[in-house]
Each structure stands twice: as C-alpha cells, then as structure tokens.
Structure 1
Amino acid sequence: MRCNIMRLSTIATLLLTACATSPTGRNQVVLFSDTQMSSLGSQSFAEMKNELKISKDKKTNAYVQCVTNAIIKHVPIQGSFSEWEVVVFDSPQVNAFALPGGKIGVYTGLLDVAVNQHQLATVIGHEIAHVLADHSNERMSHAQIANTGLQISNIALASQDYRNEIMALMGVGVQYGVLLPYGRTQESEADIVGLELMAKAGFDPYQSVELWKNMAKASGGNHTPELLSTHPSHDTRIKDLTAKAARIPTYSGQKPTCAGAS
C-alpha cells in the first residue's frame, strides 16, 4: 500500500509541475523538455533518412520546400532548434509528418492526392501544428504516467526494445508497423493551428476541404491513404474544416507561387 501511495504522490507531483497550455488554450501535461524532445525527434529523423528512399527529383523537392518555407515564415521561433528541415521520401504512401526538432517528412504519394500548393500546405501546416502544440511530448508523457514500462526519460532511440513504440508515440509509427494515431482532440487542434498558419502564409484555407474530399475519393479503392487511416473520418473532417475555414481572417501580403511537381 505504501508503494502505491508513493506512486500516486509522485504522479500528483508530476502533474503539478508539468502542466502546460497548448496553442488553443487547452491544458496539457508534458514531462519532457523541449531539448529532450528535439533530440529524440532528430534521432528518429536520422534513422528514417537512412532507412527510407529519399527523392532525388529536383522539381519535387523544390516544390515541397517552397510550400514549407512559406509556412515556416509564420511559425514562432523555437528555443530548442534553429532551423526546420524537410525531406521528400520517394514512396507511394499518402502521408507526411513533422517531428520535434523541426523535422518534416513528405512522401511523394501525397502529391497524387494533395493536387495543388494549397492542399499540400494544408497537410504541412497541420503536421507542423502537431510540433508546435507539443503533441508528441503529451503522448509520451501520458505513456510515462501510465507506467507502460517504456521508461522513456531514461532511454535512447537506439534501444531496439522500445524503438517502434517511441516512433509511434512521435507520430511516425505507421511506417514501422505500429499504428498509434493522434487523439481527436489533438487532431482538431492541429487543424485549427494548421489552418491559421497556411492562411497567414497566403494559402487558401478552403482548399483544406477539397483535400479531404480527395482523401475520401482515394479511400474508396482498395488502398486507404496512410494519412487518412490515422485521422478522424473524412466526413467529420470536411464538415469541421468548412466551418473553421469560414472563421479564418483574410490575410494581406504576397501569395505563394510554388510550381507543382510533375
């Protein structure tokens, strides 16, 4: 009994000392520092670059970089890293992700569904929003509190015993056979923050609705896009995004002109 009391006391202390607020004002519990998360994100990204095929197509890379750069101009400066890095992976997966430490991955298969710069900006803005909102930290913190046995704060990604689980908690587990989607609250939050980012960058937020219509069409075949499989139903997404886009103010400034990939 004494051990249980001590454990509850420890958890209570953690909850009190690790309370944070998300960009939308939601209360969060985050146990890990930005430096810890950035280090783990960089490790994860380095492994992915070693294991997955990177696109060598100059036009595709320039296009994705152009859209990403336009959004990053409106992202607050981060204390734990100085630059964002984007890599295009040559894969039919309809997917993208962003990791703590400013690491962004886009799969070429996404460009078959996100058919213009605005739709690509929807995805990239959404994934960057997951980083800005500390969603990976939040999930890893919940796993630590739940005493899953991972002991995340004391291990490195190099530990193969926990590698897949950590990758899943950070939002890239689907590539490694572990599916752990973000929760609906986190997804909705990333939608809100992501739409604001893309709109500030000059992209059309209403194209987010068209993107998810395309996702819905793509899921009508035998293969469901990976990005869709880790998100709420497209009907709900389309309805919510339509309402959110209507509330986004119109921003002045130069509009991006990113040439689409072939």
Structure 2
Amino acid sequence: MRWIPRLAIGALCVSLAACASSPTGRQQFTLYSDEQLNQMGQQAFEQYQQDMTVVGGAHARYAQCIADALVAELSGRDRDYNWQIRVFQDDSANAFALPGGYMGIHTGLLDIATDQNQVATVVGHEMGHVVANHANERVSTQSATQVGMSVLSSVAGLQGPQGEQMLGLLGAGAQYGILLPFSRRHESEADVIGLRLMAEAGFDPRASVTLWENMQAASGGQPPVWMSTHPSQGQRMAGLQANMDDAMARYEQARSAGRQPNCPRPS
C-alpha cells in the first residue's frame, strides 16, 4: 500500500506545478514560498535564542569566521539569505539550519570537531540544507502525505476499530517508506553540497571523514538505518569518500587562488 501516498504526491506535483531541482539536480517537490519558510525560520531562531544560552566571545568569533568564509563562496540568491550563526551552550554534538540562513552549533559539537576544517564540514552541511531548500521539501512532503491519507480514508470508508488499525499501518508505511527516507536523502545531499562548499572556500575536505570518525567514536548505539532520519556514520563516510576526488580538485584550486581560511580555535 506504500504506493498510495506516493501517488498522492505525484498527483499534487503535477497539478500544482510544484516541482523544482536541487543543486545536485535531484527533482524536488515544494509547495511553499521562500517568504513563508524564511519567516518561520527567523521566528524559530529567535525562540531558540530565548530558550538556550548563547555563547559569545572566542567561540562566537570562531564560528562566524568559518561561516563567513563559506558564505563568500555562494552566489546569487544563496548568498542573499540572512546568514547568521550562533553558538549555543549544550553538551550534545548537534547543529542545525533553518530556512533563511539561520544556523546554530552546540558547544558539544565543537568539542568533537577539533579544527576549523572539521567545523567547516558541519557548517557547510547545514548551509547545504538551506540552499537545497530541504525544509520546504520536507514540510511539503508531510503535507501531501497527510492529504493522501485523508483522501484514502474517505474513499475507502475506513471507519471504526478495524479502519483505525488499517490507517495506523498505512501511517507507519508512509513514515518509513517516504518521510524518513526523504530525510536521509536530504542528509546525504547536504553532505555533498557542504563538501563542495568547504573545498571551494579553502577548507580541507578530507577533514569531513575525520569528523565522522570522531562522531562514530563518540556515539553510542544507533537505530537501524531504515528507521533513522540520518544515514549511518559508515554510509556518510562512504558517500564523502565517493565525492572526495572532485572535492580535492576544488580545494587545490581554491588554495592556488589564495583562499586559505585562518579561524583560530578557542583554547
């Protein structure tokens, strides 16, 4: 039955002409305007700063230096986002990006990412989510899946305990068959975009693999890949290695052009 939500998405994509392409050429399904998503991103970022402790000083300058070097390699609309980055006091090895260019990185991740190149891997990855419009694609897919489930319920007359059980099973099928794989695809795509971007800015792309080795050593048990919103560390490292030759060529070209970031790590 997993074809039903997919069919709903396909029908909506055709009827609303909401298909676009990501920076890697992958077809995307988006329903919302940039203005809508960017406004939500700004509001969420402001709320996050109210709820969390923002770290200033050397940590803030470190993150800003790296982000500035990466933003400088963007062009067109991508460079015009309201790019902002904040460091938040939190022991979890986490970072995030919101529509509009709002980014956050936790102090716990800065402990694992031991130099500017590894941090650039994280920040470039988060920027990849923004420039690839992943948030729009994500919420659009969720909306279309909900519409498909609602239509199916009406057409099939799924009511009562038996109907509720069937809808629950269909919901699980949509979750694991569409929504989670979509998120894994986003993560892998952001890895590739971030790898290219960090290399073009003059950060060593080989540090991306080192970062994930550090993450793998620091992480505990993980859910099965098919139930996870992220690829496994092994899958991520394999994907990065597969794109490393191209990234190294971009890196060497950037270094030859004088792009050599120097962002001192806080002691």
> What TM-score results when the alignment is normalised by the length of structure 2?
0.75
Q: Does 231-240 or 190-199 show the bigger shift?
A: 231-240
For 1:157, the equivalent position in structure 2 comes to none
Which residue identity is paired with 1:259? P
Which residue identity is paired with 2:44? S
Q: Which has the larger radius of gyration?
A: 2
For 1:95, the equivalent position in structure 2 comes to 94
Q: Offset of 1:235 from its aligned partner?
A: 1.5
For 2:127, the equivalent position in structure 1 comes to 128
For 1:206, the equivalent position in structure 2 comes to 206
Q: How does 1:216-235 map to 2 (within 5 A)?
A: 216-220=216-220, 231-235=230-234
Residues 1:260 and 2:255 aligned together: no
Which residue identity is paired with 1:71? L
Contact 1:38 1:80 (8 Å CA) reproduced: no
For 2:45, the equivalent position in structure 1 comes to 45
Write the distance in 2 (CA, Å) between the matches of 1:9 and 1:261.
47
| Structure 2 CA distance for partners of 1:112 and 1:36, relative to 1, 3 Å | same
Larger helix proportion of the pair: 2
Q: How does 1:100-179 map to 2 (within 5 A)?
A: 100-147=99-146
| Structure 2 CA distance for partners of 1:43 and 1:238, relative to 1, 3 Å | same
Write the distance in 1 (CA, Å) between the matches of 2:118 and 2:46.
27
Residues 1:28 and 2:32 aligned together: no
Q: Offset of 1:76 from its aligned partner?
A: 2.4
| Structure 2 CA distance for partners of 1:124 and 1:217, relative to 1, 3 Å | same
Write the distance in 1 (CA, Å) between the matches of 2:266 and 2:230.
26
Alignment: residue pair count: 221
RMSD over aligned Cα, in angstroms? Answer: 2.8
Write the distance in 1 (CA, Å) between the matches of 2:13 and 2:237.
40
CA offsets, 1:120-156, max 9 Å, x none?
Answer: 000000010001111110010011111269xxxxxxx
Contact 1:96 1:127 (8 Å CA) reproduced: yes
Which residue identity is paired with 1:36? Q
Q: Which runs of 4+ in 1 moved over 6 A?
A: none
For 1:152, the equivalent position in structure 2 comes to none
Q: Does 106-115 or 184-193 show the bigger shift?
A: 184-193
Write the distance in 1 (CA, Å) between the matches of 2:146 and 2:79.
27
For 1:236, the equivalent position in structure 2 comes to 235
Write the distance in 2 (CA, Å) between the matches of 1:121 and 1:78.
21
Q: Offset of 1:185 from its aligned partner?
A: 1.6
Contact 1:182 1:231 (8 Å CA) reproduced: no
Structure 1 unaligned spans of 5+ = 1-7, 150-179
Contact 1:14 1:31 (8 Å CA) reproduced: no
- Does the residue aligned with 1:120 lie in a helix, a strand or coil? helix
- Does the residue aligned with 2:146 lie in a helix, a strand or coil? coil
Q: Offset of 1:254 from its aligned partner?
A: 2.3
- Does the residue aligned with 1:20 lie in a helix, a strand or coil? strand
Q: Offset of 1:187 from its aligned partner?
A: 1.4
Q: Offset of 1:80 from its aligned partner?
A: 10
Q: Offset of 1:186 from its aligned partner?
A: 1.3
Q: Does 185-194 or 246-255 show the bigger shift?
A: 246-255
Q: Does 94-103 or 246-255 show the bigger shift?
A: 246-255
Contact 2:12 2:144 (8 Å CA) reproduced: no
Contact 1:35 1:80 (8 Å CA) reproduced: no
Write the distance in 2 (CA, Å) between the matches of 1:13 and 1:27.
11
| Structure 2 CA distance for partners of 1:9 and 1:137, relative to 1, 3 Å | closer
Write the distance in 2 (CA, Å) between the matches of 1:118 and 1:13.
39
Q: Offset of 1:77 from its aligned partner?
A: 3.4
| Structure 2 CA distance for partners of 1:215 and 1:82, relative to 1, 3 Å | closer
Write the distance in 2 (CA, Å) between the matches of 1:238 and 1:85.
28
